[in-house]
């Protein structure tokens, strides 16, 4: 029985009215939890496939997926089995010992990518922190650079730690957190002339630039796909100068774009790339992967207490194997084409409201026009009221990142609910 059939057969039972009284209290929640998020006024408590239900029993189509994280959707039997088996077997030990599941996951990732080595952590920010440290040590040890600089892009997003918000080319994330970490420089995305000019300006012989850190597609920055010709020129530039190319695949890796890795859309291979989000299907895990020539870490250089423990690695292995076994990359490509086609039709129907659609696979952005009387957050709220969960990607882009198991029926229903939401705004 397919997962889609299991979902259809179980929705009625899951969606049945609750017999218990409402137990969630937002006031109590806000009284105890730091207000680091602008939360929408719903509390989600259960899900199946691409659908979730709130504490009031209302159903939503989930085209957020934990922000591109729930690869296999909610309640996938493979994940349930993997979680159950691994927690009964062994869930955590120290990295002082060999962890078979960690080795198996590392082998799968290196066999299916350009990487030779893997380091595991807990999040995308940590993976990018590791990449920054690796690039800096490589610059010191292999190239003799005393003050290495990492070039990143405007409108990028690389995490919330001090180093990764500094790497992030968006001042709004850096406000009030000075002093920031030194050693970063920003350039326009997809602009090779600006990149070359910046490198030449930073140091005449280009010896101070240690690495270039880019997203193959900028997610938080507005769902901006990388230009293939630009990235190929960046790769050539790195080859000629010894600069390392780091790709942040936290949002686009693990099949999100219709290919296993985002860099495959660009016809290049990075020296280093980072993963998180979809790797564990919602179980927290991050990964730093690199080719052997830049594997300069030694014992004591980097570590993570929880990183790569048996539990998270056992689940991540199941996610990766299911991605290939169920041929989900083809599903991502097909459903992505259907979604973009439907969104394009909506743009044509409301030309004063929207200016276009952009994205790869199942990471897509609906772009509001400069004359639109509403912002992305307004459409997100209207869609929620219509039973569709989507997420902003900046003030003028609405992002669609459903689970990779999304069906054609789910896509069409999402487009219908979106159209209903738009009708309430015009």
Return the SS3 of 224: strand
Task: Show me where the domains of the chain are located.
Answer: 1-63, 79-325
Which residue in the list 3, 63, 231, 248 is annotated as catalytic?
248
Strands 388-389, 59-62: pairing kind: parallel
79-325 is a CATH 3.30.2350.10 domain: no
Torsional class of 144: left (φ above 0), alpha (ψ -120 to 50), beta (otherwise): left
* CA–CA dist 403, 51 (Å, integer): 10
* CA–CA dist 312, 120 (Å, integer): 10
- In the prediction, which pLDDT does 88 show? 97
- In the prediction, which pLDDT does 80 show? 97
- In the prediction, which pLDDT does 226 show? 98
Burial class (CB in 10 A: 0-12, 13-18, 19+), 182: exposed
Which residue in the list 3, 119, 120, 157 is annotated as catalytic?
157
CA distances from 358 to 200, 218, 383 (A): 32, 11, 19
- In the prediction, which pLDDT does 18 show? 46
- In the prediction, which pLDDT does 23 show? 76
Helix axes 310-325, 328-349, angle to 10 degrees: 70
- In the prediction, which pLDDT does 4 show? 54
DSSP H helical segments within 144-287, as ranges?
162-167, 192-202, 228-241
The question of whether 248 is a catalytic residue gets the answer yes
> Which secondary structure element, helix H or strand E, spans residue 316, and what is its range?
helix 310-325
pLDDT along the chain (426 residues), means of 10: 52 46 82 93 96 97 98 97 97 97 98 98 98 98 94 98 97 96 97 96 77 97 97 97 97 98 98 98 98 97 97 98 97 98 97 97 97 96 98 97 98 98 95
The question of whether 157 is a catalytic residue gets the answer yes
The question of whether 25 is a catalytic residue gets the answer no
Instruction: Report which of 100, 155, 192 is spatially closest to residue 396, judged by C-alpha positions.
Output: 155
Which residue in the list 277, 297, 311, 400 is annotated as catalytic?
277
Task: Evaluate whether 131 touches 118 at the Cβ level (below 8 Å).
Answer: no
For residue 228, what are the contacts with CB-CB under 8 A and spacing of at least 6? Answer: 265, 266, 267
Please spell the DSSP secondary structure of 387-417, one letter per residue. Answer: TEE-EESSTTEEEE---TT--HHHHHHHHHH
For residue 21, what are the contacts with CB-CB under 8 A and spacing of at least 6? Answer: none
């Amino acid at each position: 029985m397919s997962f889609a059939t299991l979902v259809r057969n179980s929705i009625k039972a899951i969606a049945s009215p609750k017999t218990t009284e409402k137990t969630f209290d937002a006031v109590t929640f806000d009284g105890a939890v730091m207000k680091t998020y602008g939360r929408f006024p719903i509390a989600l408590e259960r899900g199946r496939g691409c659908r979730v239900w709130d504490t009031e029993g209302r159903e939503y189509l989930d085209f957020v997926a934990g922000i591109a994280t729930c690869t296999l959707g909610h309640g996938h039997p493979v994940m349930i089995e993997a979680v159950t088996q691994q927690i009964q077997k062994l869930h955590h030990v120290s990295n002082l010992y060999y962890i078979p599941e960690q080795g198996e996951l590392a082998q799968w990732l290196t066999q299916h990518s350009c990487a030779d080595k893997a380091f595991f952590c807990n999040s995308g920010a940590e993976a990018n922190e590791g990449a920054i440290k690796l690039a800096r040590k490589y610059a010191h040890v292999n190239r003799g650079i005393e003050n290495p600089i990492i070039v990143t892009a405007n409108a990028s997003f690389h995490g919330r730690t001090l180093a990764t918000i500094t790497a992030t080319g968006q001042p709004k994330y850096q406000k009030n957190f000075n002093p920031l970490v030194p050693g970063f420089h920003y350039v326009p995305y997809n602009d090779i002339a600006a990149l070359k000019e910046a490198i030449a300006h930073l140091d005449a012989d280009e010896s101070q630039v240690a690495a270039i850190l880019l997203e193959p597609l900028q997610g938080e920055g507005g769902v901006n796909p990388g230009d293939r010709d630009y990235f190929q020129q960046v790769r050539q530039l790195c080859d000629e100068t010894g600069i390392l190319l780091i790709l942040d695949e936290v949002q686009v890796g693990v099949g999100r774009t219709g290919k296993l890795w985002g860099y495959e859309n660009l016809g290049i291979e990075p020296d280093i790339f980072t993963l998180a989000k979809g790797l564990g299907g919602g179980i927290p895990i991050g990964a730093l992967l690199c080719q052997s020539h830049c594997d300069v870490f030694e014992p004591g250089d980097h570590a993570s207490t929880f990183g790569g423990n048996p539990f998270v690695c056992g689940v991540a292995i199941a996610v990766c194997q299911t991605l290939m076994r169920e041929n989900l990359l083809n599903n991502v490509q097909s459903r992505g084409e259907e979604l973009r086609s439907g969104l394009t039709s909506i743009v044509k129907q409301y030309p004063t409201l929207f200016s276009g659609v952009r994205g790869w696979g199942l990471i897509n952005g609906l772009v509001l026009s400069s004359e639109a009387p509403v912002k992305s957050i307004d459409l997100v709220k209207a869609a929620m009221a219509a039973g569709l969960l989507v997420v902003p990607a900046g003030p003028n882009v609405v992002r669609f990142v459903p689970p990779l198991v999304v069906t054609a029926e789910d896509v069409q229903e999402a487009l219908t609910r979106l159209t209903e939401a738009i009708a309430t705004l015009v």
